[in-house]
Amino acid sequence: MTFAKEVLCPRCDRRFPCGKIPNLCSCGSPLLVQYDLEKLTHAVKPSDLERRPPTLWRYREFLPVSDDRNIVSLVEGFTPLIEAKGLARELRLKKVWIKDESRNPTGSFKDRGLCIAVSMAKEFGIKRLAIPSAGNAGGSLSAYAARAGIEAHVFMPKDTPRANIIEVEKYGAHLTLVEGLISDCGRIIAEGKEKEGWFDVSTLKEPYRVEGKKTIGFEIAEQLGWRLPDVIIYPTGGGTGHIGMWKGFAELEAVGWIKGKRPRIVTVQASGCAPIVRAFDERKEKAEPWSDARTIASGLRVPQAVADFLILRVLRESNGTALSVSDEEMLAEIARTGKLEGLFFCPEGAATVAALRRLVEKRWIQPDAEVVIFNTASGFKYLDVFGSLFNLSSGGEVHASKNIVP
């Protein structure tokens, strides 16, 4: 059972009942699920979790699915929080942890949101789902939809990393490659959904992906012994992670599982697509769309986010900051972090390392700070950004000829 009691608009405060299939509020804002936290407090306590399996479903009471039979799971979440001793030593920091999201079922943290969205679709009896995806979301939706026996329609820019395109096909989804960006894919879905009978699971156009993403915040708190770090650096695309984590922290405070200071939240974007950073620097409430978005970090190639004002609100409320890093810095950090920590980062994850380095240099992060960064997907999903084996464009040296036996 669930303790979800209603769905709330964070912009105009309008409320909707849980049993109705929601998209955006009539005012155009994303909606957020609210729980009866008073009742929830009496139903579960932190020590109950110790006996539960290591998946995001250990936070069952904080999730919106009513009937357990509707849970669609591939065993996701509760990814390790790995102490990055090499990085901490190099940057002379007290503690750095890497939340390694590459270990989710399809190799990225998109699984968290889509496992909840697909479970809710099953609960509502929805038969056809549609998603625009710049990369990993398409694979996640396709995998969970396959598992649930629901149709998935995925729209991706045609220059999306190959692994993402191939996995969508192998999970049996309907794939359309689009000449354009994720925003163009989103438009096709918005225009076709009425006629095609699609439920649109675009980032924050429904409230459930955020519910899955907030479990990252729960896990960080639990893994640190029900306390939070000083700084969290997150690679921001559509913003589900920011909004989800912040919402999760508020819920944990409301039930008394954590107290004290919240972390400062940092947004990292790519210098070729940084609408939130620009809006933050200009102290705007909303972000202008970014034109000519370009970056190898496909998860950050989001020129416009419907929840921009909520992301910016989190940055302000947390006393956080926003910065962008170049593709070259990401590639350099993939090689450096691989060597220092033995983890194969995706470009988006490497952006958090580059941001950490920059913020330490600027003394925005002090040496005694405890910092959490993310590897949001596996580097294996991005092999095409490294060029071909014989023409490695970045970092490592390859002596291919020596390894080839004719």
Ligand X SMILES: *Cc1c(COP(=O)(O)O)cnc(C)c1O
Residues 176-205, interacting with ligand X (CB under 6 A): 203
320 binds, among ligand X, Zn ion, none (CB under 5 to 8 A by kind): none
Compute the distance between CA of residue 292 and CA of residue 304 in angstroms, rounded to an integer.
12
- Kindly write out the interface string for residues 211-250 of this chain, putting x where it contacts ligand X by CB under 6 A and - elsewhere: ------------------------xxxxxxx---------
Stretch that binds Zn ion, among 14-22, 186-194, 230-238, 313-321 (CB under 5 A): 14-22
- Shortest separation between residue 101's beta carbon and ligand X, angstroms: 8
Q: Which residues pair with 16 in a beta bridge?
A: 7
Q: Which residue in 96, 116, 185, 346 binds ligand X (CB under 6 A)?
A: 346
29 binds, among Zn ion, ligand X, none (CB under 5 to 8 A by kind): Zn ion
- CA 339-342-347 angle, to 5 degrees, is 80
- Taken in order 184, 349, 204, 200, is the CA torsion positive or negative? positive
Compute the distance between CA of residue 125 and CA of residue 146 in angstroms, rounded to an integer.
15
Count how many residues are written for the chain: 406
Per-residue exposure over 119-129, b if at least 16 CB sit within 10 Å of its own CB, e if not: bbbbbeebebb
Tell me the DSSP string of 352-390: HHHHHHHHHHTTSS-TT-EEEEEE-BBGGGGGGGG--TT
Comparison of 299 and 303: residue with beta carbon closer to ligand X: 299
Q: Which residues contact 239 (CB under 8 A, 6 or more apart)?
A: 203, 204, 276, 305, 307, 308, 310, 311
Residues 109-128, interacting with ligand X (CB under 6 A): 110
Q: Which residue in 29, 34, 295, 337 binds Zn ion (CB under 5 A)?
A: 29
Q: Which residue in 5, 11, 95, 193 binds Zn ion (CB under 5 A)?
A: 11
By CB under 5 A, residue 215 contacts Zn ion: no
- Shortest separation between residue 179's beta carbon and ligand X, angstroms: 21
- Shortest separation between residue 266's beta carbon and ligand X, angstroms: 13
For 178, how many CA atoms within 13 A lie in the half-sphere containing its CB? 21
Report how many residues bind ligand X under the rule CB under 6 A: 17
Stretch that binds Zn ion, among 15-23, 26-34, 50-58, 321-329 (CB under 5 A): 26-34
Comparison of 23 and 70: residue with beta carbon closer to Zn ion: 23
- Shortest separation between residue 94's beta carbon and ligand X, angstroms: 26
Residues 56-115, interacting with ligand X (CB under 6 A): 108, 110
Ordered strands of the 264-270 beta sheet:
81-83, 95-100, 370-375, 231-235, 264-270, 321-325
- Shortest separation between residue 151's beta carbon and ligand X, angstroms: 22
Compute the distance between CA of residue 153 and CA of residue 50 in angstroms, rounded to an integer.
38
Q: Are strands 151-157 and 128-132 parallel, antiparallel or unpaired?
A: parallel
Which residue's Cβ has the minimum distance to ligand X? 299
Compute the distance between CA of residue 233 and CA of residue 355 in angstroms, rounded to an integer.
8
147 binds, among ligand X, Zn ion, none (CB under 5 to 8 A by kind): none
Residues 358-397, interacting with ligand X (CB under 6 A): 376-377
Beta strands in 159-275 (DSSP E): 174-178, 199-200, 231-235, 264-270
Comparison of 64 and 235: residue with beta carbon closer to ligand X: 235
**Whole-Å CA distances, 301 to 176, 190, 212, 259, 269:** 18, 19, 22, 35, 9
Q: Which residue in 4, 8, 25, 129 binds Zn ion (CB under 5 A)?
A: 25
By CB under 6 A, name the binding residues for ligand X: 108, 110, 135-136, 203, 235-241, 299, 346, 348, 376-377
By CB under 5 A, name the binding residues for Zn ion: 9, 11-12, 14, 25, 27, 29
